[in-house]
A and B are shown apart, each in its own frame.
Chain A
Amino acid sequence: MTTTRSRYSSDEVEEKLFSEISQETLALTRRLFLQLIRRPSTLIAGILQPIIWLVLFGALFSKAPESLLPGGISYGRFLGAGVIVFTAFSGALNAGLPIMFDREFGFLNRLLVAPLRSRSSIVFASFIYITTLSLLQSFAIMLMAFALGFGWPGINGLFLVLTTLLLLVFAVTALSLGLAFALPGHIELLAVIFIANLPLLFASTALAPISFMPVWLGWLAALNPLTFAIEPIRAAYGGHLDLRIGLLHAPYGEVNGYQCLVFLMLLTIGLFLLIRPMLNRKLA
């Protein structure tokens, strides 16, 4: 109330603001992790599925001639980057599901009648949760790929992998949260997730380089955000840490590592701007 507020100096108000936002964000995040720990099937499936991809697909093309792929690397090495990106991507695509279920079960109303310092806390909590979860899954896949003999990016490479994955996870999480508020229910959200998942995987350079693809598919792959995340990670695995080197031989020209990262950054910013009005409307 106004009378109590005037008692605080502006510094104290700010400190209180920060402590209240962290208190509510922490509570919201803790709830998501408690749900995960007590119902770990999402985490387990999220780790098992890409391992199956890695083992099965890796085996399927293991006899491909070494000279087939650019740089003469083995298929397993080639595939690793694709599966890591796909894992992070599909994990982040599910970010909207907890919020969607909270909407449907009326739990969101409990949050909306509470005097939250900022309703962005609800969004922050989802970001913290999904980012942690996606990185955890990706890391498990990297270890598995290492165990299968598909390589390890090294310390500097790891930093590049992390940066790329974070950018992709932020963008996709923003998209999924936007959908969680825009779509009528979880059935529709699941439908979008199913439709987006596999086609985006196949129309990217996760499983094959652009040079293998017919022209139209090459175009799709060269415009697919997943490709822009896969190529820097593949470069990190190949030990090519110079981002000025062209990584992607797209139909419209050569794309280097910097350009890949800038594209992902722009995508993230663009999606944030796109969902902001919607979050403001639904959470105002």
Chain B
Amino acid sequence: MSLVELKNLKKEFGTIAALNDLSLDIPEGSLYGLLGPNGAGKTTTLRILSTLIEPDAGSVMIAGLDAIKHPREVRKQIGYVAQEVSIDKILTGKELLHFQGDLYHINSELRDKRIAELIKRLDMSEWIDRRAGTYSGGMKRRLDLACGLLHQPKLLVLDEPTVGLDIESRSTIWQLLEELRFQGTTILLSSHYLEEVESLADQMAIIDNGRVIAEGAPEYLKQQLGGDRVTLRVREFSNELESGKVKDLLANVEGVRQIVVNRAQGFSLNLVVDNELVIQRLQTHLNKAEIPIFAISQSRPSLDDVYLQATGRTLMDAELALVGKRDKKQESKSSMR
């Protein structure tokens, strides 16, 4: 059963379309990863389903409730942990948790019990009575997560939960998320870290330009791509001319499906091949033409390959392309309410 059903969502900020007909089904009990570069529409999607903003068109059903018609009922079901940590510097962590408990109308006995549990679980006892202004990024993020969990939501929504965090805080959070899923909480997280989605999510969607371009279990998406990946370097740092020549030479080898020159990796060649036998044929061809081999390696398709296949560019390239392309004025408008 789906806990979240988003259908044909559209949202524009000024003239910029953030979501173009985005649809998404999130099964109950899953840990769902939303992968995409910055600006793909991840945050907008999460803000819509957390009832912070309304879509221009489309429907949002959460736990069988229409989030646009009954936002208050839906808010009770959701714990939302925003990307930018919003913590009152003047309050202590515990005071913020009390405050949060009152906003969700939890009675004081239950509230204090849950706060004590969360302090223990997220290992916050040492600093929870200090003012939040003194906290590190990891502490703030853990406190923010505790706030989102205090009312025991059915659905936990996390926007880039570990961006810019130290390794220890990151693994604490990852571990907690796995435990929560085990206990039956549905978790939706957005990320532009392949690694995070790969190691946590059992279901995922790739979002690009405000729409879903691939959807399913990470393993399934990788298997669907088929073929193996070969990375070939004729020298540690090659040049465009040389790589181009090698590309032409290998293009007609039996079992080679596709060759891309990877500029970002010192003009190495990325090949998609039918199976592991092709790599020997490649070596034979190179030997015959007296071309040296600095490195040749083979791997199964990765999530990055899934992304590449779906969008025609790597996630890294997509991130780079976005730098300097953003409209500052629109951003400040849409970031504030």
Contact = CB atoms under 8 A, between A and B. Distances in A.
Given A31-B91, A113-B51, A113-B75, A106 B103 contact: no
Contact of B52 (A109, A117, A185): A109
Interface string B4-47: 00000000000000000000000000000000000000000000
B104 A114 contact: yes
Contacts, number: 73
B50 interface: yes
A31 B337 contact: no
Interface size of B as a range: 20 to 34
Contacts of A23: 102, 105
Interface string A98-123: 00000111111111111111000000
Given A113-B50, A115-B72, A282-B337, A38 B90 contact: yes
Interface in A158-182: none
Contact of A111 (B51, B78, B90, B103): B103
Given A110-B147, A114-B75, A105 B337 contact: no
B242 interface: no
B80 interface: yes
Nearest to B99: A27
A244 B225 CA distance: 88
Interface residues of A, number: 30
A23 B73 CA distance: 18
Contacts of A116: 72, 103
Nearest to A20: B105
B157 to A, nearest CB: 9
Given A1-B73, A184-B336, A24 B102 contact: yes
A92 B75 CA distance: 32
A117 B336 CA distance: 23
Contact of B105 (A109, A112, A117): A117
A62 interface: no
A30 B91 CA distance: 11
A106 B90 contact: no
A176 B78 CA distance: 32
Interface in A31-67: 31, 34-35, 38-39
Contacts of A114: 75, 100, 103-104
A105 B336 CA distance: 9
Name, among B73, B87, B102, the residue most crowded by chain A CB atoms within 10 Å (CB to CB): B102
B80 A113 contact: yes
Interface of B: 50-52, 65, 72-73, 75-76, 78, 80, 82, 84, 86-88, 90-91, 95, 98-100, 102-105, 131, 147, 332, 336-337
Given A35-B88, A38-B90, A109-B52, 6 more contacts: A23-B102, A31-B99, A103-B336, A107-B86, A109-B82, A116-B72
